Amino acid sequence: MGELIIPPKEAIVYEDGRLYSCLASYPLTTGHMVVAWKDKATDLHQLNKTEYEHLMWIVDKTRDTLLKTLGLEKVYLMYMDEVNQVHWHLVPRYDEKGFNVLNHHPKKIQDFSLAIELKKNWPK
């Protein structure tokens, strides 16, 4: 984890001029998504109030879409700045709790079919 990976088009569930929400390139669990800010911003404090609120609105919509699509009760939200670019990881919780989910050994995503289902459930 050293640089923000530009996702393939088929991984993107939502995109606008400021950010995108997509399936993670190296998912920890099925449905792991990333919401990434497009303009250079190395930390949340660099976003103004309107930008921050927009980012968090899309994080909420992404979480709600995951909950509905996957029939889950919980999605972990993780803000990490290991790539020096504002982005959130949304990691669905299945039968594990706590930090155990971080012990997975992610592999590069090959199947983007879940993105189609997530787009269908994206709130209008």
Q: What is the pLDDT of residues 59-99, one digit of tens each?
A: 999 999 999 999 998 999 999 777 889 999 999 988 766 66
pTM, two decimals, is 0.89
Report in angstroms the alpha-carbon separations of 124 from 62, 65, 78, 94, 120. 12, 11, 25, 26, 10
Contacts of 72 (CB under 8 A, 6+ apart): 31, 66, 92, 93, 94
Q: For the domain bounded by 9-121, which CATH number is listed?
A: 3.30.428.10
Give the H/E segment covering residue 33. Answer: strand 33-37
Every domain of the chain and the residues it spans: 9-121
